[in-house]
């Protein structure tokens, strides 16, 4: 199986197009310092083994529990069993949010990321695809969810079926409720299947992606011809996720607050997770940056002569995470509270600054192993 060095280009193209309308990108400037003391192989191995693999394992386990709870609810529908299914949905979404920043490897095979998490959805394609699927099921046809449009294969579609107005419909006790339940179980099963495949393929077999990261720069490794090229993949994931937060996630929450008709474009609007996902994303990025047991990007920076960058990134992460933890994440507050909207607006430049600093770190890994300094 062949993988590109810089995966996720489809995602980047969609993100770039959205960013043209939602925000302006930040640029970074230039002169130089040595970074030759960084052990890229140790850094890659640490992040692969201690950051990625445990998160995919947790995601697979939580997704399997989600499938179990959805089946249980549909066998005996009640408010109580629906509550358990909703809690399992949030647990699985939490674990997905903790690994969704990794946009390379088997998550990109077979369009898996889009199938698990079709968002942003600026044209309301998810609702349209759900309506079509329910019409098909109402006519007595079986639905092959894995061959269905990506819009209805993952979390955003499932959230619409079991939260808000969808929760009322799935509890109605009529034929449509039964169809909605069958569709919800099919989606939950698909999420469990995809997450299990990704977890296994990262760690097992000759094409296990963890091995590609650990052997980056070795003869025959066509995915990562140098150890630093593998490290760049981690940094690409960091900058892409920070850009998604500043240019899409936060602006769409603010847009929904000012234009209520656009609330459906905000992330996880129906399950009330718009800010929760961002909070988890930022925490996961900080954990990626810091690594485990003294082998993270922060430790790598301490081995260079750019200690100022170490201090600035630490402070930027702390500032952004401190603020996001203080914001009321309830949907009502996000949409109606002026103070909360002010905090969201303040969070954007904080995360933008963090992104700019990570981009400076990224430049440590250019061909000459040089870093931009001020």
List the Cα angle 9/10/13 in 5-degree steps: 85
pLDDT tens-digit map of 48-103: 999 999 999 999 999 999 999 999 999 999 999 999 999 999 999 999 999 999 99
Q: pLDDT at residue 15 above 90?
A: no
State the pLDDT confidence band at 18, using cuts at 50, 70 and 90: low
Residue 27 pLDDT grade (very low, low, confident, very high; cuts 50, 70, 90): very low
CA-CA distance, 119 to 157, in Å (whole number)? 10
**What is residue 304's predicted lDDT score, i.e. its pLDDT?**
78
Tens digits of residue pLDDT in 149-173 = 999 999 999 999 999 999 999 999 9
Note whether residue 349 is domain-resident: yes
- Give the whole-angstrom CA distance, residue 163 versus residue 91: 15
Give the pLDDT band of residue 141 (cuts 50, 70, 90).
Answer: confident
Q: 372 in a domain, yes or no?
A: no
Backbone angles phi, psi at 328, to 5 degrees: -65, 115
Confirm if 200 and 210 have CB atoms less than 8 A apart.
no
* List of residues 6+ apart from 182 with CB closer than 8 A: 74, 137, 143
Question: Any residues with CB less than 8 A from the CB of 106 and at least 6 apart, and which?
Answer: 112, 197, 198, 201, 202, 209
Question: With b meaning 16 or more CB within 10 Å and e meaning fewer, what string describes 340-350?
Answer: bbebbeebbeb
Cα–Cα distance for residue pair 67/88, rounded to 1 Å? 9
Residue 100 resides in a domain = yes
Share above pLDDT 70 across residues of the chain, in percent, rounded to a whole number: 87
Print the domain residue range for 107: 9-365
Mean pLDDT for the stretch of residues 268-295: 94
pTM of the predicted model as reported, rounded to 2 decimal places: 0.88
Crossing angle of helices 338-362 and 250-258, in 10° steps, is 160
Tokens of 227: 């150890």
User: Which residue's entry shows tokens 């995602």?
Assistant: 11
Contact assessment for residue 359 and residue 351, using Cβ atoms and an 8 Å cutoff: no
- Total domains in the chain come to 1
Q: Quick check: is 298 in a domain? A: yes
pLDDT value at residue 303? 80
**Bigger pLDDT: 139 or 196?**
196
CA distance 124 to 138: 22
- CATH code of the domain in which 77 resides: 1.20.1420.20
| Position 374 confidence tier, pLDDT thresholds 50, 70, 90 | very low
Instruction: Tell whether 86 is covered by a domain.
Output: yes
Other beta carbons within 10 angstroms of residue 12's beta carbon come to 16
pLDDT category at 139 given cuts 50, 70, 90 is confident
In a domain, 179, yes or no: yes
Nearest Cα residue to 117 out of 102, 136, 139: 102
Rounded CA separation 237/48 (Å): 13
Q: Residue 360's pLDDT is what?
A: 92
Residue range 337-347, pLDDT digits in tens: 999 999 999 99
Residue 110's CB is within 10 A of a number of other CB atoms, namely 12
Q: Which tokens belong to 165?
A: 């107005």
**Per the domain annotation, does 267 fall within a domain?**
yes
Residue of 230, 228, 232, 245 lying closest to 26 (CA atoms): 245
Task: Report yes or no: 190 and 63 within 8 Å, Cβ to Cβ.
Answer: no
Least Cα distance to 369 among 212, 210, 214, 231 occurs for 231
Which of 129-143, 180-194, 202-216 tops mean pLDDT?
Answer: 180-194
Give the Cα separation of 373 and 253 in Å (integer): 35
Query: Is the residue at 1 inside a domain?
Result: no
State phi, psi for 189 to the nearest 5 degrees: -65, -40
């Amino acid at each position: 199986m062949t993988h590109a060095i810089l995966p996720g280009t489809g995602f980047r193209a969609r993100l770039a197009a959205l960013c043209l309308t939602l925000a302006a990108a930040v640029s970074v400037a230039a002169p130089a310092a040595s970074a030759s003391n960084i052990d890229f192989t140790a850094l890659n191995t640490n992040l692969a083994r201690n950051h990625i693999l445990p998160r995919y394992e947790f995601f697979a386990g939580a997704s399997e529990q989600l499938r179990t709870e959805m089946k249980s609810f549909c066998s005996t529908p009640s408010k109580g069993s629906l509550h358990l299914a909703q809690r399992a949905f949030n647990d699985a979404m939490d674990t997905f949010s903790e690994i969704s920043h990794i946009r390379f490897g088997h998550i990109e095979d077979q369009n898996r990321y889009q199938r698990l998490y079709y968002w942003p959805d600026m044209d309301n394609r998810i609702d349209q695809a759900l309506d079509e699927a329910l019409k098909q099921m109402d006519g007595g046809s079986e639905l092959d969810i894995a061959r269905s449009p990506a819009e209805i294969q993952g979390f955003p579609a499932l959230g619409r079926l079991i939260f808000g107005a969808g929760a009322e419909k799935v509890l109605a006790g009529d034929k449509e409720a039964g169809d909605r339940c069958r569709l919800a179980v099919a989606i939950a099963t698909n999420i469990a299947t995809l997450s299990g495949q990704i977890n296994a393929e990262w760690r097992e077999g000759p094409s296990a992606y963890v091995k590609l990261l650990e052997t980056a720069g070795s003869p025959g490794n066509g995915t990562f011809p140098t150890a630093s090229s593998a490290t760049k993949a981690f940094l690409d994931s960091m900058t892409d996720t920070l850009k998604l937060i500043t240019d899409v996630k936060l602006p769409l929450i603010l847009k929904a607050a000012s234009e209520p008709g656009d609330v459906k474009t905000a992330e996880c609007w129906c399950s009330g997770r718009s800010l929760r996902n961002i909070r988890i994303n930022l925490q996961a990025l900080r954990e990626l940056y810091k690594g485990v047991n003294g082998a993270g990007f922060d430790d790598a920076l301490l081995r260079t002569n750019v200690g100022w960058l170490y201090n600035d990134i630490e402070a930027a992460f702390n500032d952004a995470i401190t603020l996001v933890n203080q914001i009321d994440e309830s949907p009502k507050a996000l949409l109606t509270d002026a103070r909360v909207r002010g905090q969201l607006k303040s969070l954007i430049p904080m995360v933008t600054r963090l992104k700019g600093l990570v981009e400076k770190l990224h430049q440590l890994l250019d061909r000459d192993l040089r870093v931009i300094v001020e």
